[in-house]
Chain A
Amino acid sequence: MILLSLLIGCGPMMTEGDYFHVERAGAIMPVWVNGNLDSDVFIITLHGGPGDAGHEFPLSEGFQRLEEDYAVVYWDQRFSGMSQGDPSPDTITLADFVADTDAVVSVIQEKYGVEAFILYGHSWGGDLGLAYLLDGEHRGDVAAYIDHAGTHDEPLAIAASREWIQPKIEQYIADDIDPEFWSQARDYYDANPVVLPSDPAHGSYVSSAGGYFYDETQYEPPPMLELAFASPFSMSFYQNVGRSLKLVIALLDDFDLTDRMGEITTPVLVHGGLEDGIVPPVVLEETYALLGAPEADKELSLLPEIAHSTHAEDPDAFVAIVSDFIELHAP
């Protein structure tokens, strides 16, 4: 009875817009096109993780407000979110993720008659977007790219992240804040002078230190019951985060586009938070500096009191920054 009463309270979610799937190389990837479909501007998003879900973006107020003005394309990458099928683990390559992005772009262009579009990538999606600007078949159709807390060099990012957390650990111990936990963290870093992006322990410590959300009290948790029982979400989301993430995140360990960044001449906004502990601002500054786009076509935006996810942490600022950039470069 308790369960039934909970279910009755669950209104269906994510029913608006267009929904379809794109199948490539064994993966069946869900695509949701929502927002202002009459707009001439399509924003194609690339989610983070790797292994998270594009379906998470519209849960944030930042994306809900972007949808008022633009058509926004959310999709889940292979081995991620609600992506189905049984692709071979051999397809966990950067080339396959770029080709998947191309497949989604092709369908959007064909289905909606869109030629140029805005590409947006968050975190790992930001990395993927940079790779797409270098090797994507339709890279010439990207009117502008928004790199949100994504980097060209993951080993650099993880080293900077390690530097970011160490003084915080010492401060927590000195202030007697959960000293046992943070002493374990200190032992971990002493034992691991080099941390790999695929090491979950580091991400966990960064999260505990507020490196993903600067102020978690400002973060509104998603409606879990509705997501579980009345949306396209399935257990796939939770399983992929846990299991596939381990497979896919190894992509980051040697992700380094440094030598090719000068080839990127598309207008790019590099955006992030000054309190980001997983992709610290020093890394985004270097990403920005290496871009081959002329100064007039590239922009660096780093916000105080923001960590890794401006769209959820400060929707007002997110919408203002992203919209201003889009209006400058919209196709």
Chain B
Amino acid sequence: MLLLIATISAAMAAPVSVGAGYYGDFVSHPGGYLSASWQVAEAGSFSARVGGELGAYHHERNHTGAFARGHMGLRATGDSGLFFEPRFVLGYVHTWVDGDEYWVVDEDTLELRGKYEGGSPNLGYGMGLGFGWDPKGDDQGLTWLMRAEATGRAPYNGFALNQFALLAGVEWTPGGGR
């Protein structure tokens, strides 16, 4: 609890970085995300970051997903401004199958559900590695980044569905920083 309070306090004191970009479920099923993150600790070229993301994607004839998730990562930035950032994500994913859904209520009753009616709640999780470039190397202004994630959602057929995602976008920090 103390660690959580300390992290939140550090986050509140740090400048927020906001981001947006492409979210590709299994790389090619398109979507997008908005993010906010805070640098909560720094040691040399390393900085710890926490934050959250809202996003959605669409897999044609399979499902549409919308997510809200938190993330925690460690960014290592070189002198050139190039950085890499392993991170964990955890949150909520709601999925709707794509297309009409006929629901067998009982032996004699069949209901047609609307496209975004109901859906399925899921725990979403992931572990990713991001690469990026902070052109000024000062953690201010625009930063370009790309993340590859091993991600998944549960429950799914008695277990979980594990797969991949690709995120590519920009992050903007309005000033301050390290």
Q: List the interface of chain A (C-beta within 8 A of B).
A: 3, 7, 10, 12, 14-15, 19-25, 28, 30, 32, 79, 82-89, 103, 106-107, 110, 137, 228-232, 234-236, 239-240, 243-244, 247
**CB distance B27 to A247 under 8 Å?**
no
Chain B positions near chain A (C-beta within 8 angstroms):
26-28, 59-63, 95, 97-104, 107, 110, 113, 120, 155-159, 161-163
Residues of A within 8 A of B26 (CB): 228-229, 234-235
The 4 closest A-B pairs by CB, nearest first: A232-B61, A24-B104, A229-B28, A235-B163
Whether A236 pairs with B156 at a CB distance below 8 angstroms is: yes
B61 proximity list for chain A (CB < 8 A): 14-15, 19, 30, 32, 231-232
On whether A87 and B157 interact (CB within 8 A), knowing A15-B60, A20-B100, A232-B60, the answer reads yes
A20 neighbours in B (Cβ, 8 Å): 99-102
Q: List the A residue with the shortest CB-CB distance to B160.
A: A239
Residues of chain A within 8 A of B97, CB atoms compared: 21, 28, 30, 84
Given contacts A20-B101, A137-B107, A235-B161, 12 further A-B contacts (CB under 8 A): A22-B101, A22-B104, A24-B104, A30-B61, A30-B62, A79-B158, A107-B110, A232-B60, A234-B59, A234-B161, A235-B26, A247-B158
Given known A-B contacts A3-B27, A229-B28, A232-B62, A19 and B157 have beta carbons under 8 A apart: no
B153 to chain A, nearest CB (A): 10
Using CB atoms, name the residue of chain A closest to B95: A84
CB–CB A86/B27 < 8 A:
no
With both beta carbons as reference points, the residue of chain A lying nearest to B156 in the complex is identified as A86
Q: Shortest distance in angstroms between B52's beta carbon and chain A's nearest beta carbon?
A: 25
Once bound together, how far apart are the Cα atoms of A79 and B156, in whole Å? 9
- For B98, the closest partner residue in chain A by CB is A19
Q: Are B62 and A234 in contact (CB under 8 A)?
A: yes
CB pair A12–B60 under 8 Å, yes or no, is: yes
Report the separation of the CA atoms of residues A243 and B62 in the bound assembly, to the nearest whole angstrom: 20
- Which residues of chain A are within 8 angstroms of B107 by Cβ–Cβ distance? 137
Task: For B107, give the chain A residue with the smallest CB separation.
Answer: A137
Residues of A within 8 A of B95 (CB): 84
A85-B157, A235-B162 known; A21-B101 Cβ under 8 A: yes
Bound-complex Cα distance A82 to B162 (A): 13
Min C-beta distance of B159 to chain A, whole Å: 6
Minimal Cβ-Cβ distance residue in B for A137: B107
Q: How far is the CB of A78 from chain B (nearest CB, A)?
A: 8
- Chain A residues lying within 8 Å of B104, measured Cβ to Cβ, are 22-25, 103, 106
Task: Pick the contact of A234: B99, B101, B102, B163 (CB < 8 A).
Answer: B163
Q: CB within 8 A of B158: which of A28, A89, A110, A236?
A: A89
B27 touches A229 (CB 8 A): yes
A239→B162 contact, CB < 8 A: yes
Taking the closest CB of chain B, its distance from the CB of A118, in whole angstroms, is 21
Contacts of A28 in B (CB 8 A): 97, 101, 120
Whether A79 contacts B157 by the Cβ 8 Å rule is yes
A24 contacts across to B, CB distance below 8 A: 103-104
18 contacts between A and B (CB under 8 A): A7-B28, A20-B99, A21-B99, A21-B100, A21-B102, A24-B104, A30-B62, A79-B157, A84-B97, A84-B156, A85-B157, A137-B107, A228-B26, A232-B59, A232-B60, A235-B26, A236-B156, A240-B157
Q: Which residue of A lies closest to B161 (CB)?
A: A236
Q: Looking across the interface, which residue of chain B has its beta carbon closest to that of A232?
A: B61
Does B28 lie within 8 Å of A10, measured CB to CB? yes
Whole-angstrom CA separation of A87 from B158 in the bound complex: 7
Q: Which of the residues A3, A83, A110, A228 comes within 8 Å of B110, measured between beta carbons?
A: A110
CB-based contact B28/A84 at 8 Å: no
The distance from the CB of B162 to the nearest CB of chain A, in whole angstroms, is: 6
Is the beta-carbon distance between A239 and B161 smaller than 8 angstroms?
yes
With A19-B61, A21-B97, A28-B101 as contacts: A230 and B28 at CB distance below 8 Å? yes
Q: Which residues of A contact B60 (CB under 8 A)?
A: 12, 15, 232
Task: Across the interface, name the chain B residue whose C-beta is closest to A88.
Answer: B158
- Chain A min CB distance to B26 (Å): 7
How far apart sit A110 and B111, CA to CA, in the bound complex (Å)? 11
CB distance from B21 to the nearest CB of A (A): 15
In this complex, the member of B95, B102, B156, B157 whose beta carbon has the largest number of chain A beta carbons within 10 angstroms is B157
Once the chains are docked, how many angstroms separate the CA of A224 from the CA of B120?
A: 28
Whole-angstrom distance between the Cβ of B82 and the nearest chain A Cβ: 17
Contact (Cβ within 8 A) B161 A23: no
